Amino acid sequence: MTTDHAEALLSVRDLRVSFPGKGWRAPRTEVLKGVDLHIRPGETLGLVGESGSGKTTIGRAILGLVPVASGTVTFDGERVDTASTARRRALSRELQVIFQDPYTSLNPARTIGDTLSEPLLAQGIDARDARGRVDGLLEQVRLPGDAAGRLPREFSGGQRQRVAIARALALRPRLVVCDEPVSALDLTTQATVLDLLLDIQEETGVAYLFVSHDLSVVRRMSHRVAVIHRGEIVETGDADTLTRTPDHPYTRTLLLSAPVADVTEQRRRRERRTALAKCE
Q: What is the pLDDT of residues 181-218, one digit of tens each?
A: 998 888 888 999 999 999 999 999 999 999 999 888 99
Count the neighbouring beta carbons within 10 Å of the beta carbon of residue 42: 16
pLDDT above 60: residue 1: no
pTM: 0.88
Write down the pLDDT at residue 23.
78
Write down the pLDDT at residue 85.
87
Query: Are residues 220 and 194 in contact, defined by beta-carbon separation less than 8 angstroms?
Result: yes
Q: Which own/partner contact pairs does 114-119 have at CB distance under 8 Å and 24+ positions apart?
A: 115/152, 115/163, 115/167, 116/148, 116/163, 116/166, 116/167, 116/170, 119/92, 119/167, 119/170, 119/171
Domain boundaries, the chain: 1-94+173-245, 108-170, 248-280
What average pLDDT does this structure show over 15-28? 87
Write down the pLDDT at residue 185.
86
pLDDT above 70: residue 259: no
- 185, β-bridge pairs: none
Q: How confident is the model at residue 225 (pLDDT cuts 50, 70, 90)?
A: very high
Q: Which of 95-104, 147-156, 176-185 has the lowest mean pLDDT?
A: 95-104
HEC profile for 193-223?
A: HHHHHHHHHHHHCCEEEEEECCHHHHHHHCC
130 vs 263, which has greater pLDDT?
Answer: 130
pLDDT above 60: residue 147: yes
C-alpha separations of 126 from 46, 118, 146, 265 in Å: 36, 11, 21, 58
What average pLDDT does this structure show over 147-170? 93
Write down the pLDDT at residue 261.
46
The 10s digit of each residue's pLDDT in 53-88 is: 999 999 999 999 999 999 999 999 999 999 988 888
Write down the pLDDT at residue 133.
94
User: Per-residue b/e over 1-23, b at no fewer than 16 CB within 10 Å?
Assistant: eeeebeebbbbbbebbbbeeeee
What average pLDDT does this structure show over 233-238? 96
The overall average pLDDT reported for the chain is 88
| φ and ψ of 46, to 5 deg | -85, 130
HEC profile for 2-57?
A: CHHHHCCCEEEEEEEEEECCCCCCCCCEEEEEEEEEEECCCCEEEEECCCCCCHHH
Q: Which of 37-51, 82-96, 239-253, 263-277 has the lowest mean pLDDT?
A: 263-277
Question: What does CATH list as the number for 1-94+173-245?
Answer: 3.40.50.300
Q: Which of 34-48, 142-156, 262-276 has the lowest mean pLDDT?
A: 262-276
pLDDT above 80: residue 2: no
